[in-house]
Structure 1
């Protein structure tokens, strides 16, 4: 096992911070050390202000996520195409001759294995799921050494992609072991790679080895984004004092505690005990809260008494009613079943469910409701039938309220500079700008917030591949530095 100093040197060299030929070490405000939460982590060596870039990582390997069940091109990730075909040598799915020319490295590896069945019988979904691990075979010695230094889950479920792959190929034992380890490292450390805003592409995961050294907290102090070269840009999302560990979040940031902890145990094999998980109210956000079961109680929230114990009873904040964990579990399962009946492509159904049904069972602060609210925010103004000019005044007002509510929740969690906040500031800005476009007489009263929200969004999302395509344009015309007259500023909204 490498020492922390040895690993730090590998990390710095990988990031281009260390030149072994000239023995030049560039300045860095963090190092790799033993972590108080277990294993190793990234620790600040001096005070780091909010919004500062910590490092720019790149994936050792990447490929389609194993949760994908859709057919897609294994080169460009496009999945809506009538011209898909299998490569006759390796069985990978492709969409064009250009992509075929680009996949030679993958093809050369796979084509070297003896096939057990005809190409037509090989399942392209199995090939897609195994592709990231297959690409690990192309790593050089230094890259393999870095990957081997990462934590890797060894339970039997990790590496199943390669077991399925062996149905179709005779794979040498050493190569099989290397690919299974790659799967284990991916399942432990991989990040979902963002897709360009508005584009429909297969979801990818990447093994970003430096980011993979960051441990988890449900109140992270770092955030990350991606550029168009699949590089991950990791920044501080709040001030970090020297000696403090730098954390990311492995789960949904707006999930309630029960959901987050269950997900982390299922996928990462640990029970989170962070400050947020230990707080029944989750910094006052009440994201896990349920409605009180007492008929006469209309204002109370059910919250876990001891949130770090799955067997804990829940208690009402108003009337004090205690509810056993078994009943809480049944309620949560029923809610999951109810949500599974929703068609998330049907905005009218989703809006009706949010406004008239779901809050009969859970308070509007619950993470299930917040998730539905986010879905409506992303779609209102952006999809056919709900474009900005098509939105009713009531839907415009609803989007405004939802943006403000979720931003307040993120602020309570100390996540005002997160990627999610950036997107919400953009949508809040766009909603305010649409209101001012419709009602020019309201512009003077809205001007300050229109400018400040696009400025916040631009600062957080600039250079991010998943940023809205008109972010730059809106910032130039509707931001605080634009001196154009009102009519000209708003001319961009009719483009």
Structure 2
């Protein structure tokens, strides 16, 4: 498909989902990419933190890995009693409401029932993992064409969902249906995004394909960040100013990983050798340690801290990616993990969290990551740690405590929160307490 045709199809898709008005100008367009295949190109200058595009998933569903808990095929609830759908589709549901949901009944349920699942009166985990390509069969033809405009993995292991489907039904699958489903599986393996459903503070991991997002090429230092909101929409914002004609990019890896780790991950999962400026920077390649001799798993965040302070700091520089990853783990867990809640942290541990937050932010700025999502998460942890420190100081009465309290300017800390909110916005993967503060601020602003 020519870029102009793909561009037109994507705009119609966004209009159908109410994310774009018909004939509405955008700051992006689909063109041939200098990086790979087609790409999303800036059609005008884009300011930092400006919304570049909002995208809707063409298909969403369970991840195809047994390590994820079984879930209700309709509402995606986990950790509950699941029973087989009475209609005989071989899929698990959690309630009669979910069993009778038209989105389920008229799509994968009807299709699988016609193929006669072999699981009898039970339900099949393999059929559950094959739901995404089945749902793609129900899409309008113009949307199925989008899958043929995307880069795909052609190796034999991509498309195993179809193999699982065939081994769990008695009926014959139409050849055209099988060809489309395999194409969808390959496109999903290459281009899908992790999404989530939040219920009762618990997150269920899903996968979805956002067509504009799928055409946004990778750079290890991207010029955008992305979030998925509560409505399941992909929102992509400029992390740095983007000039007209420049390609809009996002990262498929963690920005704190070193060059060897990023390139290995991209080659293994996306099947390409990254040649971006960061990956071809000799100083970056030499900065990382070659390999870890043993994988350490820590049950207690305090063990991580002891390892960082007493061992790792003697082995690698402070800016090494292993050190950065460990620091980020400590920042993420201190104040939140069992046994390390805010009230259980010592004053020294609280100060270490604040120092680590500042070092990580400085590292991201050095890498020119702009207002990336990871920076937003760290800024929010810094805000929380500062607030906890002020709370502790306020409970004590002395001149020394007054001086310490003055070190943390309340208005400056509020600015830290506002900066975090500007980056994270309504991201559903942000901490639960952040989302409460964000929603409260939105109500006050109305």
Q: Give the TM-score normalised by the residue count of structure 1.
A: 0.79
CA distance in structure 2 between the aligned counterparts of 1:113 and 1:186, rounded to whole angstroms: 24
Going from structure 1 to structure 2, the CA distance change for 1:128 and 1:17 (only over 3 Å counts) comes to closer
Structure 1 gap ranges (5+):
291-327, 483-495
Task: Say if 1:225 and 1:234, in contact at 8 Å, map to a contact too.
Answer: yes
CA distance in structure 2 between the aligned counterparts of 1:72 and 1:430, rounded to whole angstroms: 34
CA distance in structure 1 between the aligned counterparts of 2:74 and 2:388, rounded to whole angstroms: 39
State the partner residue of 1:445: 407
Report deviation, 1:263.
1.0
Of 400, 407, 413, which residue of structure 1 is paired with 2:361? 407
3-state SS of paired residue (1:164): helix
CA distance in structure 2 between the aligned counterparts of 1:364 and 1:91, rounded to whole angstroms: 53
State the partner residue of 2:110: 108
State the partner residue of 2:61: 63
Going from structure 1 to structure 2, the CA distance change for 1:197 and 1:43 (only over 3 Å counts) comes to farther
Alignment of 1:390-401 (within 5 A): 390-401=344-355
Going from structure 1 to structure 2, the CA distance change for 1:424 and 1:287 (only over 3 Å counts) comes to farther
State the partner residue of 1:39: 37
Of 176, 195, 198, which residue of structure 1 is paired with 2:178? 176
State the partner residue of 1:229: 231
Going from structure 1 to structure 2, the CA distance change for 1:52 and 1:138 (only over 3 Å counts) comes to same
Going from structure 1 to structure 2, the CA distance change for 1:477 and 1:3 (only over 3 Å counts) comes to closer
Alignment of 1:465-480 (within 5 A): 465-471=428-434, 474=437
Q: Which is further off, 93-102 or 58-67?
A: 93-102
Going from structure 1 to structure 2, the CA distance change for 1:10 and 1:474 (only over 3 Å counts) comes to closer
CA distance in structure 2 between the aligned counterparts of 1:360 and 1:67, rounded to whole angstroms: 38
Task: Say if 1:78 and 1:200, in contact at 8 Å, map to a contact too.
Answer: no
CA distance in structure 2 between the aligned counterparts of 1:376 and 1:261, rounded to whole angstroms: 25
3-state SS of paired residue (1:382): coil
Aligned: 1:158 with 2:161:
no
CA distance in structure 2 between the aligned counterparts of 1:194 and 1:253, rounded to whole angstroms: 21
Q: Output the aligned Cα RMSD.
A: 2.8
CA distance in structure 2 between the aligned counterparts of 1:145 and 1:51, rounded to whole angstroms: 32
3-state SS of paired residue (2:137): helix
Report deviation, 1:466.
2.3
Q: Give the TM-score normalised by the residue count of structure 2.
A: 0.88
CA distance in structure 2 between the aligned counterparts of 1:182 and 1:189, rounded to whole angstroms: 10
State the partner residue of 1:99: 98
CA distance in structure 2 between the aligned counterparts of 1:18 and 1:114, rounded to whole angstroms: 34
Task: Say if 1:407 and 1:416, in contact at 8 Å, map to a contact too.
Answer: no
State the partner residue of 1:133: 133
Cα-to-partner distance string for 1:13-64 (whole Å, 9 max, x where unaligned): 2122999xxx951111221111111211011121111111111101111112
3-state SS of paired residue (1:220): coil
Report deviation, 1:117.
4.8
State the partner residue of 2:251: 249
Q: Which is further off, 466-475 or 233-242?
A: 466-475
Task: Say if 2:48 and 2:239, in contact at 8 Å, map to a contact too.
Answer: yes
Task: Say if 2:153 and 2:189, in contact at 8 Å, map to a contact too.
Answer: yes
3-state SS of paired residue (1:449): helix
3-state SS of paired residue (1:183): helix
Of 454, 460, 465, which residue of structure 1 is paired with 2:423? 460
Task: Give the total of aligned pairs.
Answer: 426
Q: Which is further off, 441-450 or 408-417?
A: 441-450
Task: Say if 1:197 and 1:467, in contact at 8 Å, map to a contact too.
Answer: no
CA distance in structure 2 between the aligned counterparts of 1:206 and 1:36, rounded to whole angstroms: 26
Going from structure 1 to structure 2, the CA distance change for 1:333 and 1:426 (only over 3 Å counts) comes to closer
Task: Say if 1:159 and 1:180, in contact at 8 Å, map to a contact too.
Answer: yes
Q: Which has the higher contact order (CA 8 A, sep 6+)?
A: 2
CA distance in structure 2 between the aligned counterparts of 1:109 and 1:52, rounded to whole angstroms: 42
Report deviation, 1:476.
9.8
CA distance in structure 2 between the aligned counterparts of 1:252 and 1:67, rounded to whole angstroms: 21
CA distance in structure 2 between the aligned counterparts of 1:129 and 1:257, rounded to whole angstroms: 33
CA distance in structure 1 between the aligned counterparts of 2:199 and 2:276, rounded to whole angstroms: 32
Of 185, 189, 201, which residue of structure 1 is paired with 2:187? 185
Going from structure 1 to structure 2, the CA distance change for 1:15 and 1:287 (only over 3 Å counts) comes to farther
Report deviation, 1:355.
3.1
Structure 2 gap ranges (5+):
395-401
Q: Which is further off, 44-53 or 140-149?
A: 140-149
